[in-house]
Structure 1
Amino acid sequence: MVYCVISAAMSTQELFVAAAHKCLSAGRKSLSVPQSRDLAAQVLAVDLGLKPALLYDSNGASADQVRQYLSSLQSSQLVSKSLLTLDLNGNALIVNPVTVRSNVEQLFHDGNVAVIDVCHSLEKPTIADPLRRELKSMAHDLLLLLRGFEHLTEAEKPHYVGEKSDEWNLCTVFGLLLGYPVTYWFDQTKSFENCLSMTPLIVTTASATWQADTAAHRCCLYSFSVPAVLLKEIQSNLEHWRLCLQERFQQQNVLKDLTVCQSTVILPSVCL
């Protein structure tokens, strides 16, 4: 086991950058300083409850390397001990167990998370019933998993999400874990393709500035899309998400200058 040791004499940003450089190299590919700072801001957002989880996709680092990185940050008291690393079918996530469970529960209780059916057989995307059998079963299993993690601390290995997750639609699960107000679903037993080709999509992004030491770093905290044809139907979901994000943002002083904006894209193919 390789442990990441970093000097306490470094500045805050230098500590984050050093941890990323030591723990997250994949072959000869290390994260650049801007990438390391961006990752740091994302992890801080998870720790502050501004977002429930972070899906690590910066390079080919393994889930165990991501765990080493998180443990290094925790040992330096840069983030809390409550954050955990999940290994979900080879995908590494850093999660805030309490925040992410609360987000998944919204699917059942208050309808603040909309599920959009984008099955390839449909002429256009439609709103799905979040309590349909497949979705309800998946969300129930996910909640049981998350509740079991709440009393744990970061361990030697990433917490592996077992074989049950093989049946989950990961596109839907990632939308729930990452705190989106909308998430896509399709019947993967029939096809992994979708009906979003050449469909106008409204992309919502939320960004903020991490001001640490003498340097400021701007990063994107959220980015998700909604089919333009369904925008009116789920406008209330988007507004509730924006207001909740603003409220949480005002309760901390690590990240500043929150900006939420929208743009429209049309793509020949959309990979989910």
Structure 2
Amino acid sequence: LIVSALYVDVARKYLSAGRKSLSVPQSLDLAAHVSAVEAGVKPALLYDSNGACATQVQQYLSSLQSLQLVSESLFTLDLNGNSLIVNTGAVRSNLERVLHDDSLAVIDVCHSLDQPAVFNSQRGELKSVMEDLLLLLEHEEAEKPLYVEKSEEWNLCAVFGVLLGFPVTYWFDQTERFENCLSMTPLMVITASASWQADGPHHRCCLYSFTLPAALQEETQSKLEDWELRLQERFKQQRILKDLRISQATVSLPSVCL
């Protein structure tokens, strides 16, 4: 079988939700994302193609590993019921960079604020979360998902931003309420896409998509530029993906769910 067909077969075998398997386009899109994680172009992916559980995602990943399509450095993390496929080395280096170089723009979007504001990513609660994540990544048993329940202590919105390698992440005080102050706030949507070609036609996929308040663009510009440079550098070091494109647009939404 050709490589793209192998990816499709494995996805359709293991990642069914109920009686429904992933479609071929969904399977190819997932393959492109997994390839990007494998290459370190993105540190992790959040599995949201359907309702498959972490065990199924791990079976999918283990099958790809047994076929030598991806390496043993990838594992499945179940964070409060959300499945992620993680490149251990890439996430570790990203976390260490955030901790030591302050390379992450953290935006406070608490409902009580009139407008979003940038705050220091080295604040106690965030710093301890990132240190906890580094400890978790010492998890060695790649055959099983790593299950982590942190709904009370961690702001998952901020954690996902860090794990997925975004240069910007949102934070709010979840002990107060889960609403935010982003309603009708002009948001810049930044996307990075690339073309994946295993052996057949090119499959274009969106590798990154995140937002930040347009009013904070200038304040966060240096972190965005650093992220873009690092992404371009990592992209040059691999051959799986081609034609990296980074774009931005502005939207305003009546409500924003984080």
TM-score per shorter chain, which class? over 0.9
Contact 1:203 1:224 in 2 (8 A): yes
Letter in 2 for 1:134: E
Alignment equivalent of 2:62, drawn from 71, 83, 93 = 71
Deviating above 2 A after TM superposition, structure 1's stretches of 4 or more consecutive aligned residues are 163-166
1:134 and 1:236 map into 2 onto residues whose CA distance is 24
SS where residue 69 of structure 1 aligns? Answer: helix
The equivalent of 2:214 in structure 1 is 228
The equivalent of 1:3 in structure 2 is none
**Higher deviation after alignment, 209-218 or 10-19:** 209-218
Contact 1:51 1:179 in 2 (8 A): yes
Mapping 1:125-164, distance limit 5 Å: 125-146=116-137, 148-149=138-139, 152-155=140-143, 157-161=144-148, 163-164=149-150
Contact 1:198 1:268 in 2 (8 A): yes
1:102 and 1:23 map into 2 onto residues whose CA distance is 30
Alignment equivalent of 2:3, drawn from 7, 12, 28 = 12
Letter in 2 for 1:208: A
1:260 and 1:61 map into 2 onto residues whose CA distance is 30
**Higher deviation after alignment, 235-244 or 164-173:** 164-173
Post-superposition CA distance 1:41-96 (Å, at most 9, x none): 00000000000000001100000000000001001000011100011111100000
Query: Among the aligned pairs, what percent are the same residue?
Result: 68
Contact 1:42 1:54 in 2 (8 A): yes
Post-superposition CA distance 1:114-156 (Å, at most 9, x none): 110000000000011212221122122112112x12xx2521x
1:190 and 1:164 map into 2 onto residues whose CA distance is 17
1:173 and 1:179 map into 2 onto residues whose CA distance is 10
The offset of 1:166, in angstroms, is 3.6
C-alpha RMSD of matched pairs (Å): 1.0
In structure 2, stretches of 5+ residues that fail to align are none
The equivalent of 1:31 in structure 2 is 22
Contact 1:201 1:226 in 2 (8 A): yes
Letter in 2 for 1:144: L
Is 1:115 aligned to 2:106, yes or no? yes
Contact 2:79 2:150 in 1 (8 A): no
1:265 and 1:122 map into 2 onto residues whose CA distance is 20
Letter in 1 for 2:216: L
The equivalent of 2:38 in structure 1 is 47
The offset of 1:29, in angstroms, is 2.0
Post-superposition CA distance 1:206-248 (Å, at most 9, x none): 0000112122100000000010010000001111101111111
Letter in 1 for 2:178: F
Contact 2:188 2:251 in 1 (8 A): yes
Aligned length: 258
